[in-house]
Structure 1
Amino acid sequence: MIRVGIITASDKGAVGERKDTSGEVIRELVEKQGWKVVEYAVVPDERNKIEAIMIDWCDTYKVDLLLTTGGTGFSKRDVTPEATLHIGERLVPGIAEAMRYFSLQITKRAMLSRGVSVIRKNTLLINLPGSPKGAKENLEVIIDALEHGVNILKGEASECGYEVN
């Protein structure tokens, strides 16, 4: 079973001024896959706090998949990609590329997303947009491939050739 952590980066959400609907949407989608959400937090848009939680969940709690929502835009407080890149050990550019590619079919503003994906130890980390609609659409694009990627990280699957559709 894939163990999932969800971090919502939101100044207003962290102080209870906004309900975290994006995190709820992500939770619903991963649980529909049969995966288990084992860690969840709403934190302010502060790079050091985001990094500390990511490191703890990857290194101590050993989540298999860590999904973030929020903090990927152009605002000066949007620092989730920088936090993710700082603690990551290896890049996984294809995930962010796929999300932006498919999102561009829906809105030209998708090119403004700065979300990234990395690997830290045996955890795959992915930045999703902060809006519930954007988080849902982006996660739906990649979710089918994630189980195989996570299983490779965990040593439970081997590399394989491209799947022909």
Structure 2
Amino acid sequence: MTSTSDGTQNLSTHALIGIVTVSDRASRGDYEDRGGPAIRAYLERVLASGWSAQAALVPDEQDQVAQAIRELAAAGCCLILTTGGTGPALRDVTPEATEAACSKMLHGFGEAMRTASLKAVPTAILSRQTAGICDGALVINLPGQPKAIAECLDAVFAAVPYCIDLIGGPYISTNTEHIEAFRPASAVRPVAVD
């Protein structure tokens, strides 16, 4: 059971999750979005509780990325995952857009994801992904490559359900064969099967 910002208890177990693909080429239709579907496939494997997704596809424009994050949070998303735009290139502005949209930043997510990615490629230090809170939604930046998306989510997802609890979101359970969500004993509650 979690408390919302107005002090009421949130008993919901259904999560609305936002998926934002940030790509000039994909937003123009020149390139197939592979990041968004990779996030959706990951969530299908990992989440045991009920969820649905709301997707957005935007170009590498800071104001448009920030607006997509804000709109998904306003629509009731408890988790917003972005893919793309996290590198050092001139058009990579997703971290700046995330900071503009969020009231609190959670830098540990980016640190953990980069540490995990460094085991695979030395260029992981070039990634600037971060995370934060936007109007009751946890926002996490992910790279654009599908393989890197799974590696990064594996590095942090155990902490995601409890973070969502703490910000008043629904109680999310995971498929323990893939990821076991960590919660202090006092925060664990029985989960009804959807």
Question: Fold-level match, TM-score > 0.5?
Answer: yes
Say which structure is richer in helix: 1
SS of 1:75's equivalent?
coil
Which residue of the partner structure matches residue 29 of structure 1?
A: 42
Which residue of the partner structure matches residue 33 of structure 2?
A: 20
Segment drifting more, 6-15 vs 130-139: 130-139
Segment drifting more, 63-72 vs 89-98: 89-98
Segment drifting more, 113-122 vs 63-72: 113-122
Q: Note the C-alpha offset of 1:160.
A: 3.9
Give the paired residue count.
159
Q: Deviations over 1:22-77 (max 9, x none)?
A: 1111001112213523310111101111111111111x202000000000011111
Q: Which of structure 1's runs of 4+ aligned residues deviate more than 6 A? A: none
Matched, 1:128 2:142: yes
Q: Percent identity?
A: 35
Which residue of the partner structure matches residue 52 of structure 1?
A: 67
Segment drifting more, 41-50 vs 31-40: 31-40
User: Structure 1: which 5+ runs fail to align?
Assistant: none
Q: Note the C-alpha offset of 1:156.
A: 6.2
Which residue of the partner structure matches residue 157 of structure 2?
A: 143
Give the Cα separation in 2 of the matches to 1:156 and 1:54.
19
Segment drifting more, 108-117 vs 142-151: 142-151
Which residue of the partner structure matches residue 57 of structure 2?
A: 42
SS of 1:77's equivalent?
coil
Matched, 1:153 2:171: no
Give the Cα separation in 1 of the matches to 2:97 and 2:21.
13
Give the Cα separation in 1 of the matches to 2:166 and 2:58.
30
Q: Residues 27 and 37 of structure 1 are in contact (CA less than 8 Å); yes or no, is this contact kept in structure 2?
A: no
Which residue of the partner structure matches residue 178 of structure 2?
A: none
User: Structure 2: which 5+ runs fail to align?
Assistant: 1-13, 172-182, 186-194
Q: 1:29 to 1:85 in 2, by over 3 A?
A: same
Indicate the structure whose relative CO is greater, using CA pairs within 8 Å and at least 6 residues apart.
Answer: 2
Give the Cα separation in 2 of the matches to 1:146 and 1:30.
12
Which residue of the partner structure matches residue 64 of structure 1?
A: 78
Q: Deviations over 1:83-121 (max 9, x none)?
A: 000111111111111111111111111110011100112
SS of 2:153's equivalent?
helix
Larger Rg: 2
Q: Deviations over 1:123-155 (max 9, x none)?
A: 100000011111121112212221111122116
SS of 2:18's equivalent?
strand
Give the Cα separation in 2 of the matches to 1:137 and 1:53.
24
Q: Note the C-alpha offset of 1:2.
A: 2.4
